[in-house]
């Protein structure tokens, strides 16, 4: 029995860990990823704002030693879900059960002028490079622009605005800077009116200009102008971008994608192909794209896969719940407990408080302990 897991991010790592815990060496699990290390989404912001060094937030896959699991660093080139076979640049792999956990890719080229005039802070490389860009920034007009929806971690652009405010204050540059946040959402965190209100209040207090329901579609590098879909224009000295999100090309080129993402049964994470599951950002589950949701989906998919391996059935159902940490700046963190499933869209706010700083550290450490078996302390 071989389970092939494509993508060693939040979803792939959680699913692999659960199957290894249940079956040990009894089942062969092959985990494939193109990268050599895992990095949490929130660590990108820690590096970007100088709270952590790049080397301290990378978790090399070579450290992943789990019974039954073999990690292969390779790029997946094609997926045939009918026969459950994938081609990679390290050869072809067949399997009995296939899990696609390839996440969402970023497409900076989809926005004219972005490569020349803006900075992506959503990829690992982009966020690490943004650290130097921010260090050498001397004040001016900053736009944080979300260039498409859906996008990963809806709170992250708001967190970025607040963290940027703190950094500019600390460097004595805030007086001569403007921060604008442009996002095609009505409120910063749509399922949570309380969290949205908290953020909108924090923006107002700090003089951060919030532009809801607007989207930048082009940058003009010569005049440093951002063009918006509604015909408006905004000037900038620094453009920090959340690039257009897409499913990875290998998924779009397969027969699995419908309307850009992989349709699944949202309760079981099964695709329309027998023995093929999809979890996390690549799957059209209906939840926001975030690690905590990918993890919850992986847990349910693992139960169904385990039952299948044992010749049984499982009644585990995914419920769309995730608890997100929200960096409010000034050393404060709030918690948003979101359930986003079908018609149920609620988000309860707890905090903000300094007490959740420790909680967030433990959130990261506990995952690294479970997934990699190693000790780690996020900043």
Give the residues lining the site for ligand FAD (CB under 6 A).
Answer: 7-12, 32-35, 41-42, 44-45, 75-76, 101-103, 122, 152-153, 156, 248, 250, 280-282, 289-292, 294, 324-325
Closest to ligand FAD by CB, 41 vs 260, is: 41
**Beta bridge partner(s), residue 100:** 6, 278
Closest to ligand FAD by CB, 303 vs 327, is: 327
Closest to ligand FAD by CB, 224 vs 293, is: 293
Closest to ligand FAD by CB, 289 vs 308, is: 289
Minimum CB distance to ligand FAD, residue 310 (Å): 25
Closest to ligand FAD by CB, 207 vs 331, is: 331
Minimum CB distance to ligand FAD, residue 202 (Å): 17
Closest to ligand FAD by CB, 225 vs 379, is: 379
Minimum CB distance to ligand FAD, residue 342 (Å): 20
Separation between Cα atoms, residue 194 and residue 243, nearest integer Å: 27
Q: What is the 3-state secondary structure (H, E, C) of the chain?
A: CEEEEECCCHHHHHHHHHHHHHHHHHCEEEEEECCCEECCHHHHHHHHCCCCCHHHHCEEHHHCCCCCEEEEECCEEEEECCCCEEEEECEEEECCEEEECCCCEECHHHCCCHHHHCEECCCHHHHHHHHHHHHHCCCCEEEEEECCCCCECCCHHHHHHHHHHHHHHHCCCCCCCEEEEEECCCCCCCCCHHHHHHHHHHHHHHCEEEEECCCEEEEECCCCEEEECCCCEEECCEEEEECCEECCHHHHCCCCCECCEEECCCCCCECCCCCEEECHHHEECCCCECHHHHHHHHHHHHHHHHHHHCCCCCCCCCCCEEEEEEEEECCEEEEEEEEEECCEEEEEEEEEECHHHHHHHHHHHHHHHHHHCCCCCCC
Minimum CB distance to ligand FAD, residue 150 (Å): 10
Minimum CB distance to ligand FAD, residue 113 (Å): 21
Minimum CB distance to ligand FAD, residue 203 (Å): 18
Minimum CB distance to ligand FAD, residue 21 (Å): 18
Closest to ligand FAD by CB, 68 vs 157, is: 157
The length of the chain, given as a count of residues:
379
Closest to ligand FAD by CB, 42 vs 372, is: 42
Minimum CB distance to ligand FAD, residue 217 (Å): 21
In the bound state, the residue with its beta carbon closest to ligand FAD is 9
């Amino acid at each position: 029995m071989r389970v092939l897991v494509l993508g060693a991010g939040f979803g792939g790592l959680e699913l692999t860990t659960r199957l290894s815990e249940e079956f040990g060496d009894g089942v062969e699990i092959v985990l494939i990823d193109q990268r050599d290390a895992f990095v949490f989404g929130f660590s990108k912001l820690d590096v970007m704002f100088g709270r952590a060094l790049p080397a301290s937030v990378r978790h090399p896959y070579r450290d992943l030693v789990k019974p039954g699991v073999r990690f292969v660093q390779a790029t997946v080139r094609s997926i045939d879900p009918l026969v459950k076979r994938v081609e990679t640049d390290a050869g072809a792999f067949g399997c009995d059960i296939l899990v696609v956990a390839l996440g969402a890719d970023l497409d900076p080229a989809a926005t004219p002028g972005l490569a020349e005039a803006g900075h992506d802070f959503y990829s690992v490389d982009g966020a690490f490079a943004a650290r130097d860009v921010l260090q050498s920034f001397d004040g001016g007009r900053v736009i944080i622009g979300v260039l498409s929806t859906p996008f990963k971690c809806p709170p992250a652009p708001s967190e970025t605005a607040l963290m940027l405010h703190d950094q500019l204050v600390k460097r004595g540059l805030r007086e001569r800077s403007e921060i604008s946040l442009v996002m095609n959402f009505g409120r910063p965190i749509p399922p949570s009116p309380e969290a949205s209100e908290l953020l909108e209040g924090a923006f107002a207090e700090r003089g951060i200009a919030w532009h809801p329901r607007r989207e930048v579609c082009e940058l003009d590098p010569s005049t440093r102008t951002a063009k918006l879909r509604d015909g408006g224009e905004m000037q900038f000295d620094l453009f920090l971008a959340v690039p257009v999100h897409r499913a990875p090309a290998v998924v779009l080129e397969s027969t699995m994608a419908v309307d850009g993402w992989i349709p699944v049964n949202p309760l079981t994470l099964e695709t329309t192909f027998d023995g093929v599951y999809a979890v996390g950002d690549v799957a059209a589950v209906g939840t926001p794209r975030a690690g905590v949701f990918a993890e919850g989906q992986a847990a349910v998919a693992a139960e169904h896969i385990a039952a299948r391996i044992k010749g049984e059935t499982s009644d585990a159902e995914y419920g769309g719940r995730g608890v997100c940490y929200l960096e409010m700046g000034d050393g404060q963190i709030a918690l948003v407990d979101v359930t986003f499933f079908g018609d149920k869209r609620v988000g309860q706010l707890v905090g903000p408080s300094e007490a959740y700083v420790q909680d967030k550290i433990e959130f990261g450490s506990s995952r690294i302990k479970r997934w990699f078996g190693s000790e780690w302390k996020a900043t």
